Amino acid sequence: MNRRQFLVLGGLSTASILAGSAVYRVRSVWWDQNRSKEMKMLSVRETEIADAIADAMFPGDHLGMPNGTEVGVVETFDDYLAAINENTANLLRLLLHGIDEMAVVSGLAMTRFHRRPRAERITILNRWDGSMIRVRRESFRGLKLLFSMGYCEAPEVIRAAGIDYECGAWR
């Protein structure tokens, strides 16, 4: 065996190990986890990740806009997952895990997304939103839309924005 064959064999072996571990991680660890007692679809870990995303997307401000976790964005997202096709819901849940795991290789912290400080989480989400990889960018934007719908329809957010909403049961 010459040097070139050794390098090719080593590279293929490494790629096979990485692919195998990725398939194991997706199928055995992430895919179709048991739901938490408080949620309809999300597991405990997925709820933690979704809370971290909602907090980073909608941190609230000094002007009175509430935080995304306080207005039930995660619960609204969970309700949406319960109402759609199970495979689509599992793919959206898989995206949550992808965001959480990809944060480990982002920077030198080697920490999952949901355990990082808010400023770092905001930076990570901005990278997903502006990614050069179209699939990554567009899948995140779809998730961002779902979270935004949950935030923007919350009565507390509508009130804080100064919108006089009289069609509903609250004032």
Side chain identity, residue 162: G
One domain for residues 14 and 40: no
Domain contains 165? no
Domain contains 149? yes
Q: What is the pLDDT of residue 134?
A: 93
**pLDDT for 45-62, tens place per residue?**
999 999 999 999 999 888
One domain for residues 118 and 75: yes
One domain for residues 99 and 123: yes
One domain for residues 97 and 19: no
Q: What is the pLDDT of residue 11?
A: 64
Q: What is the pLDDT of residue 104?
A: 85
Q: What is the pLDDT of residue 143?
A: 95
The answer to whether the predicted template modeling score (pTM) of the entire model surpasses 0.75 is yes
Domain contains 20? yes
One domain for residues 118 and 83: yes
One domain for residues 65 and 84: yes
Domain contains 8? yes
Q: What is the pLDDT of residue 106?
A: 74
Residues of the chain with pLDDT under 70: 4-32, 108, 165-171
Q: What is the pLDDT of residue 61?
A: 87
Q: What is the pLDDT of residue 27?
A: 53
Q: How many domains does the chain have?
A: 2
Q: What is the pLDDT of residue 36?
A: 79
Strands, DSSP E only, in the chain?
Answer: none
For residues 65, 155, 36, 137, the Cα torsion angle rounded to the nearest 10 degrees is -60
111: DSSP letter: -
The Cα 124–Cα 107 span in angstroms is: 10
The Cα 116–Cα 97 span in angstroms is: 15
One domain for residues 47 and 96: yes
Domain contains 90? yes
One domain for residues 67 and 42: yes
One domain for residues 70 and 110: yes
Which tokens belong to 147? 């979270």
Expressed as residue numbers, the domain containing 19 is: 1-30
Q: What is the pLDDT of residue 50?
A: 96
